[in-house]
Structure 1
Amino acid sequence: MTRPLDIVIFGLSLSSSWGNGHATTYRALLRGLAAEGHRVLFLERDVPWYAEHRDLPDPDFCEFALYGSLDDLGQWRERIARADAVIVGSYVPDSILLLDRLADQVPGRLVFYDIDTPVTLAALKTDSAEYIARRQLPEIDLYLSFAGGAALEQLRGFGARKAAPFYCSVDPERYAPVDTDLRWDLGYLGTYSDDRQPGLKALLLEPARRLPECRFVVAGSQYPDDIDWPLNVERIDHLPPPDHAAFYNAQRFTLNLTRAAMRSVGHSPSVRLFEAAACGTAILSDRWPGIEEVLAPGEAITIVDTPDDIAAALQMPENRRERMARAARDSVLGHHTGRARARQLAAMVRDLPVRTEVPA
C-alpha cells in the first residue's frame, strides 16, 4: 500500500477569498488531498488586507498557520526538511528569498505552483516577476503551471527543468446544482481587473443596455466608483465562496472572462469556469486558445465575441441551454475535481528524486 504524502505549501491565501482567486483554488486542491489521505501544512503570510476578510480562518482539511515574516518559519524547520514536497505558490510575499532558502533546505523536492503563469511569462522576459527570479527556474524540481500548451515550452526556454500543466479544480460537494429560482439572465463573478473590464463592458454592460427587459448581475470586489452600471445590472460587492453555488444556480447563463495575458497564452482555464460548470450553469465565454480541450464549444460552452453574440445566446431554447449545462458539468466532474487534481499532484511528487538524507 502506498504511504500518504506529507506536503508543505506556502500560498498567497487560504483563509481569505477576498480579492483573489487563489483561495478557492487551494481549497479545492487541499480538500482533494485530504480525501486521498495526504497530510498538508499550509503556511500563509499574515497581511492586513486578508486579515480583515477571512472567511475560512480554521480549515478542517489541513494544518494551517499564519506567519509574520520569513524569520518566523524556524518553528516548522523540521517539518519542512522532512516533507515529501515543499510547494511555493505565485504571489507569495518575499517568495524570491523564500525559494533561495528552500533550494538549500529541500533539494530534490522543491515545487513552484504558478497560478498566474501567463503573467509570470510576460514578467520573466525582463526578469521583473516579483515572486520568482529567472535564475531560480533551474533550481526548481517541478514547475506546476496554471497554463498548458505553448506556456510549457516558454517556461523550459527560461530554464525550467520539469514543467507540467496543473489547472485549477473544483470541489463538487460545494459547487453543485441547487434548487433555487432563476433571478438573472446573465451574471459574472470576478474581482475587478483593468484588462478584463473591456470584456465586461462589451459582453455584459452593453448587452444590458440593449436588452432592458433582461436581468444581469456582477459580483466581485474592487470595482471603481465611476463605472456607469445600467439599471438592470445588480451589483454584489463581495460574494463569499459558500454563496457561490446559489449565485451560479440563480443565473440562466454565466459569463467567463479571461485576463489578457491568459487569452494570449491560452490553455489557462479559470477556476470560475469549473465552478460554474459544476453547478450546472450554462456558460458563455470569451475566446482563447485551448478552450476546446476543456469544454467543447457548441456542446458544453458557447463562445461569444460581441454584444450581438450575447443577445443571440440569451435567446437560446431552454432545452438546448440545459443540454449544454449538463455537458459542461459532466466534463468537469470527470476531469477537473479537487480529488482528481490531488491524485495528479501525488503522482508527480512521487516521481521526484528520492532523498538520501535530511538536510541540517
Structure 2
Amino acid sequence: MKIAFYGSSLLSAYWNGAATYYRGLLRALSERGYDITFYEPDAYSRQDHRDIDPPDWCTSVVYPATREGLLGAVAEARNADIVVKASGVGYEDDALAALLLEKAAPDALTVYWDVDAPATLAELAAAPDHPLNRMIGRFDLVLTYGGGPPVVDAYRAAGARDCVPIYNALDPATHHPVPPDPRFAADIAFLGNRLPDRERRVESFFLEPAASVPRARFLLGGAGWDGKPMSDNVRYVGHVGTADHNAFNTSPKAVLNISRESMARTGFSPATRVFEAAGAGACLITDAWEGIELFLVPGEEVLVARDGQDVAEILQDLTPARAEAIGKAALARVLAEHTYAQRAVIADNLFHDQHSLRRRATMRERAV
C-alpha cells in the first residue's frame, strides 16, 4: 500500500523531536512492504540543518512553505491508499488537514497522527472553535506516539472514531552502544531543547541539583539554553546532532530524561530520548510519570526521580557498577519489547483492518 505522510521533517531533527520517531517507524513500515512518500515544508531553517540524506526506504519531498507549495504537495494525496496528517507540521497545519481530507481518494484511509497529543489536546480544550475540533471526527483513525488511556479517552470524547497509541521505540540500527567520547564525559547529562513547558522542570530536575552537588559534573545539550544562569559545574555544549546521540548517551555515568509539563501530567508518554538512551545501554534517570512501568522496571531498568533532590541523592549514591547494570538491563528490555519493528506490526495490522473497513464503506456508499 502507498502512504502519503505529511509531517514536520524527516530529514532534519533541528527543533524537531519527532524526527527519530518518523525515521524509526517509517523505515520499519517500509520493510513490511509499504511504499512511503514523506512530505515536509521548507520551514524553520530545518533544511539548513539536515542530519540525514534522503533515505532509500522512503521518498522525500520538500515543498516550499507557500500556498502554491502546499497545494502542490496536497495534490499528490489522491494517489495514496493511506493519507497521514501529522500534528505540528509547522506550516498552515489547519489548512493542510482540511485539504488532505478533501483531496484523499474516496476509499483511502485517512489518519491524524499526533506526535504531541498532550499539547494538542490542551490546545483543543482551550479553543472549542479550533478548526481541528471540527475535523477530527472526519479522520478514519487517530494515532498518537504516547498518552495511553488519558489521551485515548480525550480523543474519543473529542469525536475521534478511534484512537490508538503507537509508542516511541528504539531503532537498533541508529541507536546502540558505542565507546565513550571525552567530549561528553560527565556524571550526568541532559539533552533537550529549551521550551516554555519544559524550562521550569529543567531548572528543578537538572540545574538545581547541579548547584547542590558542586563536585559532580553536569552536561547540558540542546538548543536555546544560551544565557541561562547555571552553576560552574554545568557544561553547556549546545545543539547535539543525531550522529552524536549515541556518544552523548554512553559517555556520562547517567543520562537524565525530563518530560515537558504536559507530557508528565498526562503520563504514558515516554520521549524518544528514553529509548535512545536505553538503546545505547545508558543508565537512565527519569522524572516520575504515570505509566513508566509499562516500558521499563523502576529500580532495575531505570531510576525514577520525583524531584531535584531525588536526582541529587540518586547521583551521589550511584556507583559505576550499578549504573552499568541498569544500562544493560534497559538495553535488553527495549531490544526485546520496544523496537520500531514491533511498533510497525501494530500499525500494519491497524492499517489493513481499517483500510478494509474503509473500502467496504465506500462500496456501500456507491451502491446506494
Structure-2-length-normalised TM-score: 0.89
1:8-157 pair list within 5 angstroms: 8-68=4-64, 69=66, 71-72=68-69, 80-92=77-89, 93-106=91-104, 107=106, 108-127=108-127, 133-146=132-145, 147-157=147-157
1:209 maps to 211
Q: Tell me the SS of whatever aligns to 2:49.
A: coil
Secondary structure at 2:248's aligned position in 1?
A: helix
Amino acid at match of 1:127: A
Instruction: Look up the match of 2:366.
Output: none
CA contact (8 A) 1:84 1:349 kept: no
Task: Name the residue aligned to 2:176.
Answer: 176
- Paired with 2:72 and 2:41, the residues of 1 have a C-alpha distance of 14
Distance 1:212 1:76 in 2: 53
Which deviations, in whole Å up to 9, do the C-alpha atoms of 1:147-191 show, x marking residues without a partner? 212110111000000100111222111111112257111000111
Looking at structure 2, the residues matched to 76 and 13 of structure 1 have their Cα atoms a distance apart, in angstroms, of 14
Would the aligned equivalents of 1:144 and 1:163 in 2 still touch at CA under 8 Å? yes
Give the SS at the match of 2:313: helix
Aligned runs of 1:190-205 on 2, under 5 Å? Answer: 190-205=192-207
Whether the 8 Å CA contact 2:74–2:99 is kept in 1: the answer is no
RCO comparison, higher one (Cα < 8 Å, 6+): 1
Distance in 2 (alpha carbons) for counterparts of 1:307 and 1:9:
40
SS in 1 for 2:10: coil
TM-superposition CA deviations, 1:258-291 (whole Å, max 9, x none): 1111111111110001100100001111111111
**1:89 shift after superposition:** 0.6
Deviation of 1:48 after TM superposition, in Å, equals 4.7
Q: List aligned pairs for 1:297-316, cutoff 5 A.
A: 297-314=298-315, 315-316=317-318
The 2-side partners of 1:144 and 1:70 are apart by: 27
Secondary structure of residue in 2 paired with 1:66: strand
Percent identity between the two aligned chains: 33
Cross-structure match for 1:346: 348
Aligned to 1:239: 240
Q: How does 1:286-301 map to 2 (within 5 A)?
A: 286-301=287-302
Determine the C-alpha separation between the residues in 2 that align with 1:21 and 1:128: 27
CA distance in 2, matches of 1:76, 1:305: 45
Separation (CA, whole Å) in 2 of partners of 1:311 and 1:126: 37
* Distance of 2:350 and 2:305 partners within structure 1: 36
> Greater CA deviation, 344-353 or 311-320?
311-320
Q: CA deviation at 1:145?
A: 1.5
CA distance in 2, matches of 1:248, 1:128: 41
**Paired residue for 1:336?**
338
Count of residues in Structure 1 that have an aligned counterpart in Structure 2: 352
Identify if the C-alpha distance between structure 1 residues 129 and 43 changes in structure 2 by more than 3 Å, giving closer, same or farther.
farther
Equivalent position amino acid for 2:54 in 1: D
**1:343 deviation in Å?**
2.1
**Gaps in structure 2 of 5+ consecutive residues:** 364-368
Matches of 1:181 and 1:135 in 2, distance apart? 50
1:137 deviates by 1.1
Once structures 1 and 2 are overlaid, which stretch shifts more, 93-102 or 113-122?
93-102
8 Å CA contact retained: 1:127, 1:133: no
Q: Match for 1:296: what amino acid?
A: V
